[in-house]
Amino acid sequence: MSGTTATTATATTTAATAATHAPLRVVVLVGSVRDGSTAPAIAAWFTGVAEQYGGLELDVLDLAGVDLPLAMPAWGGLPSDRATAALDGVTPRLAAADAFVVVTPEYNHSFPAALKNVIDWHRPEWPAKPVGFVSYGGIGGGLRAVEQLRLVFAEMHATTVRDSVSLHGPWSAFGEDGAPRDAAVTEGAAKGMLGQLVWWGRALRTARAALPYQA
């Protein structure tokens, strides 16, 4: 083995080791922008569970506070000043993430337009990163929104984890203190999803450090 090859191999191994042991950076993307939405309370509950899981750096990104326009520039064009200002507060956070958790309601058998908008405004921030879901709604618990989001994230070269957290009728399932009334079931689902997210997050971060993903 030549000196250059050995140095490169050592650097790759060092980067992979660091990627394996560093805290996992997880952006919790709150997808509802409706006034009076239940999403912030659900996100707060989930992050509380995630903080107990350990080894995570959580960044809650609530789209209700992001003034990102629907109008996009032409291919090769520059975004408007309004879009640039919004993206300055969003894009670096998505780029720094090792994994994502999307908190989404179900609107008309799908997910909110604001959530699709922020996904569409970005491309290199998603590939080779895992995505978990916390959904809520009526009897369906938001599962139809999740299944459609899986298709969208597959197109973005992201990896969605198998298990998700599905809250059926969360308006009555959470007490006044913001905690779920059936804590054992909901926390069990959250920890199960987090286990898969962390596994994929660490595996894919190590892989990206060793060999950049070609999207």
The H-assigned helical ranges of the chain are: 3-21, 39-53, 81-88, 91-96, 113-120, 143-155, 170-173, 183-210
Predicted confidence band of residue 182 (pLDDT cuts 50, 70, 90): confident
3-state secondary structure of 60: strand
Q: 3-7, 22-26, 74-78, 196-200: which has the minimum mean pLDDT?
A: 3-7
The mean per-residue pLDDT over the stretch 31-52 comes to 94
Residue type at 35 in one-letter notation: D
Classify residue 54 as left (phi > 0), alpha (psi -120 to 50) or beta.
left
Instruction: Report how far Cα 192 is from the mean position of its chain's Cα atoms.
Output: 16
CA 11, 12, 18, 24 torsion-angle sign: positive
pLDDT at 13 over 80: no
Query: Higher pLDDT residue, 12 or 213?
Result: 213
Nearest alpha carbon to residue 23 among 55, 59, 58:
55
Nearest alpha carbon to residue 101 among 32, 183, 43:
43
Q: What is the pLDDT of residue 17?
A: 54
Rounded CA separation 52/36 (Å): 27
pLDDT tens readout for residues 68-103 = 999 999 999 999 999 999 999 999 999 999 999 999
In whole angstroms, how far apart are CA 122 and each of 91, 119, 126, 173, 197? 7, 6, 8, 34, 21
Rounded CA separation 7/106 (Å): 51
Can you name the residues that pair with 131 across neighbouring β-strands? 100, 160
Domains of the chain plus CATH, in order, are 23-210 (3.40.50.360)
Query: Higher pLDDT residue, 176 or 100?
Result: 100
Q: What is the pLDDT of residue 19?
A: 57
Q: 102-111, 158-167, 173-182: which has the minimum mean pLDDT?
A: 173-182
Predicted confidence band of residue 185 (pLDDT cuts 50, 70, 90): confident
Residue partners of 6: CB distance under 8 A and separation at least 6: none
pLDDT at 124 over 60: yes
With beta carbons less than 8 A apart as the criterion, state whether 204 and 197 touch. Answer: no
Q: 85-89, 169-173, 184-188: which has the minimum mean pLDDT?
A: 169-173
**What is the pTM assigned to this prediction?**
0.89
